[in-house]
Chain A
Amino acid sequence: MNTAPTFAVVGHPNKGKSSVVATLSQNDAIAIALEPGTTRTRQSYPLSVDGKILYTLVDTPGFQRPRRVLEWLEAHSISASDHSETVRAFVTQHKDDGRFTDECELLTPLLEGAGIIYVVDGSAPYNAQHEAEMTILRWTGQPSLALINSIGPDDYSDTWQAALGQFFQVVRKFDAVRAPFEQHLSLLRAFGQLEPDWEQSLGKATEHLSAQREQRRRQAAGIIAKALKTMMSFQEKRTLSLDQIAGTSDSTLADQLRQHWYQHQRKQEQSLRVDIEHLYQHNSIRRQEAELEWHSDHDLFSEDSRKHWAVSKRYLATAGFGAGAVGGAGLDALTLGTSLGTGALVGGLIGAAGSYFYSGRFMLPALNIGLLQDGLKTATFGPVQDSQFGYVVLGRAVDHWWHISHRNHAGRELLDLAPADHHWLERLDKKHRQVIQKTLDKCRKKQPVDEGQMQKFQAAIEQCMAIYDDWRLNRT
């Protein structure tokens, strides 16, 4: 028999059952609150691949009257062999009894063959009160695993571990809000080990989840690459008639264009944020507050942003050398090599010098007011002529991606995007630096970026993400 297993997540009220389910099912739309009775009915969360269910998690309400249930069970049982049947009889008899609605809701999936995932709060002291609940669960005869979640700052997990070990086959610690992804997978594998028949399904599920995570990283890099390209090459354009020209001074026009340009770029960046969040199935992040707070302190165009996210002059010079050398090498090719590589050298030096020179200032995009033509005048603002702009956007995007990819779906706190205090991008290897620089240069010059170049750009951004991840995880 190889049916998809079901796991009922049960426990005392308000111990984080819904948080565990939200994290494992990657659903940030499950009601979670520091309030008993938030979950009132059981709810299934199946994980399926191509429509085939591999396992189902069932979120349940907490025990309300465990001692009364246990008293009833003990009064109606003769021996251990009838325990499971007695639990079934209890549910049958009390399914319409309002006092035992929660118990019936949580026991029903167990009677249908679900495995038990018993959740306790390891930040609160052990309570013998829970023993009645654990005894009832043992009566169902289902495979069981206890999870020590952690809601508060204190840690009583050792006492819990010792106590739970007497009632459950496996006891695991799992912080639903902070556990890293690898722990999610490890927990799912532990679920599979409760029954030999379940191992294969859970094994497959973890494989698919791992692959999905890898794919999401690639997709995120693609989304960032596309947004960077759009933002770097964006030009605000306005066509004015003779009347409009008469009523607007050049400086007013420039101000208006600049304002629109900034607004558009901010909108683009916000749209990038939403795309990345949706990719990771975070649909309910409270970003409004975070966005405002974040923008006031670390505005995309503020000097502060530049200080945190821009790259150093040295970085730009080396990236610029590579990008220039590529152009120069083209000259060598034209001369059939008779220039003996001087083209590459000269091109490289020019690229490096240009990058070094421009890196000192956060240059504004070029304002260009065209000549009168057919009674109309065209004014443009942008694209931004400073590639540092691209590095600022890239740095912020990678930082946001990292927070989102490491955020569990049980998390309900505000997304706090504090700026990095280290120029992590400087760890990027030369080849990828050059790809990024070359693409940013092409965008700001409004040159077409072909599909091949975009793929290289995406790969370079993926590399940036790996470096950032590494830096985040290993920083002291």
Chain B
Amino acid sequence: MTDHALRLLLDFDACAQRDKGQAAAFLHRRDRKFALTCEQQGITPGPERWMAQMNHLSGPGAGTSSAEKTLRFWHRINSGFVAAGTVFGVLTMLGLLFYDGGQRINVTVIVAFVGFQLLLALLTTVQSLVGWQPWRGLLRRVGSNGGPDISGRLQPVLMARAAQVGGLCFAITGLITLLVMVVLQDLAFGWSTTLDTDASSYHRLVTAIASPWAWLWPAAAPDFVLVEATRFFRASAGQNGMNPARWGQWWPFVAMLWTTWALLPRLVLSLLAGVLIRRKAAHLLAGHPALRALMYRMETPALDTGNEHNDAADLPDTKTSLSLQPLPNARIVLRWAGAGDPELPDIISTGKNLITKAGGGMTLTDDRQTLNEIATQLAQESCLCVLLFTRSWEPPTGELDDFLTSARELWPKGTHVALVPLANRVEQAPDAHLVQQWLRFAARVGPEFVTVSLLPDYDAVSDTGRGVVE
């Protein structure tokens, strides 16, 4: 159960770390879909279900290695504490019960030792609650980072559980050793202290200690007579008229003392450590920033604005080998799709034999008439050349292409068309990028038939790349 909460947290954290590399839109879609599926099934989506779904989709064997690693690390630590506790429990009890026949086993030492054990157990729990980690440096040496991440923040409670479990094993093997020793050996217990105290005070202490079990097992609560009779002094030679069996009557007390004040607290605190781990894991999970983000993703509709399609690299070829040609001295002018409207400047129209229109608002029949008209005019001209004015900002379309194809068939062989893209204000030069599209168009139609020229600069301002009148 403890491991379940812990594993959920560690798995969730590992998953959150992995998700950091994922696109936000993908995460939103994934989690929103999960939430909607849950809604359809009438269940509330939560981190546990979500994690189960993630694991399910990953398939078997796709476990979270970092969570597994952390759990294995703490499993090793726990095993180490269990082993150490077991061994030290036996050795300590053997030490406490060391009896060479000349001296009594001092119950006061055992009471003090049990008290010390109790204190240690309580301190372990307290330090886990306040998050104090005096052993942090030691853990770092054996591989735990102890940083501000999830496993680092779990360290105090996990360490407390390891210590409590180790202490529990210590207490259990200590008790077993005691019982074995009671059976195998003739143990002589007594009590002794340097302090100036009498048997009645000591009896009160013993009664107080034995109060939890005195009603259950009266023999394990030494009476005043036993207390008074078993006091010994190291300096005294022997025991006057004392029945040797009396020395052994302390063992039930010692066994219950160990059980009640060393073993039981360790047991309770070990269980508490498990509860604390669960609580801490639940608390860390609830406060995990990734959980907040997950819940947000599950609650918020996934909006896809249609930005999947990517053709940014699929741009038309904008290179052209053609360059601008000088404006030919042609006597025929054709205005395509309203170019030069409402009227061409005198400097352009002067000396022209034919100025006509096509494209744009004209009908296709008008276009055909214009083609014929120009063909007739060309037959009378010495220069087989036509100036075709266009609006530079209106890109060349299929209609102009069709018109030029017809012109090529209809007009005398050797006729040349000079495309002249005009700016919105005829006296200005069109933008360079607009001229480029006309150059590319001329290259497609055939540069032997169509070239591109610009009007001369009225202000006689030199401008590189522009055509000049021949």
B363 on the interface (CB 8 Å rule)?
yes
Cα–Cα distance between A43 and B311 once the two chains are bound (Å)? 10
Give the Cβ gap from B156 to chain A, nearest Cβ, in Å.
Answer: 14
Contact B307 A27 (CB under 8 A): yes
Restricting to A4-26, which residues have a CB under 8 Å from any CB of B?
12-14, 24-26
A12 to chain B: closest residue by CB: B394
A49 to chain B: closest residue by CB: B301
> How many B residues are at the interface, by size bracket?
35 or more
A128 to chain B: closest residue by CB: B361
Cα–Cα distance between A68 and B315 once the two chains are bound (Å)? 28
B71 on the interface (CB 8 Å rule)?
no
Contact B396 A36 (CB under 8 A): yes
B25 contact set on A, CB distance < 8 A: 281
Give the Cβ gap from A77 to chain B, nearest Cβ, in Å.
Answer: 16
Known contacts A29-B312, A129-B359, A208-B303; A65 and B399 CB within 8 A of each other: yes
A473 on the interface (CB 8 Å rule)?
no
A212 on the interface (CB 8 Å rule)?
yes
In the complex, number of A-B residue pairs with CB atoms less than 8 Å apart = 144
Contact B304 A71 (CB under 8 A): no
Cα–Cα distance between A63 and B318 once the two chains are bound (Å)? 20
B391 on the interface (CB 8 Å rule)?
yes
Contact A25 B306 (CB under 8 A): yes
Contact B315 A33 (CB under 8 A): yes
Restricting to A30-82, which residues have a CB under 8 Å from any CB of B?
30-31, 33-38, 43-51, 56-57, 62-68, 71
Known contacts A34-B433, A36-B395; A47 and B316 CB within 8 A of each other: no
A39 to chain B: closest residue by CB: B311
B301 contact set on A, CB distance < 8 A: 49-50, 208
B151 on the interface (CB 8 Å rule)?
no
Contact A25 B307 (CB under 8 A): yes
Known contacts A13-B395, A127-B394, A129-B337; A46 and B306 CB within 8 A of each other: yes
B54 on the interface (CB 8 Å rule)?
no
Cα–Cα distance between A50 and B363 once the two chains are bound (Å)? 50
Known contacts A29-B311, A43-B309, A49-B301; A68 and B316 CB within 8 A of each other: no
A451 on the interface (CB 8 Å rule)?
yes
Contact A124 B393 (CB under 8 A): yes
Cα–Cα distance between A460 and B318 once the two chains are bound (Å)? 49
Contact B315 A38 (CB under 8 A): yes
B396 to chain A: closest residue by CB: A36
Contacts A37-B316, A56-B306, A127-B360 given; 17 further ones with Cβ under 8 A? A29-B309, A33-B316, A38-B315, A38-B316, A44-B306, A45-B307, A47-B303, A99-B398, A121-B393, A127-B338, A128-B360, A128-B361, A129-B360, A209-B305, A278-B24, A279-B24, A281-B305
Q: Which 7 A-B pairs have the closest CB atoms?
A: A45-B306, A36-B395, A64-B398, A128-B361, A29-B310, A27-B307, A129-B360
Q: Which residues of B contact A (CB under 8 A)?
A: 23-25, 32-33, 36, 148, 287, 289, 300-316, 318, 337-338, 359-361, 363-364, 391, 393-399, 402, 424, 433, 437
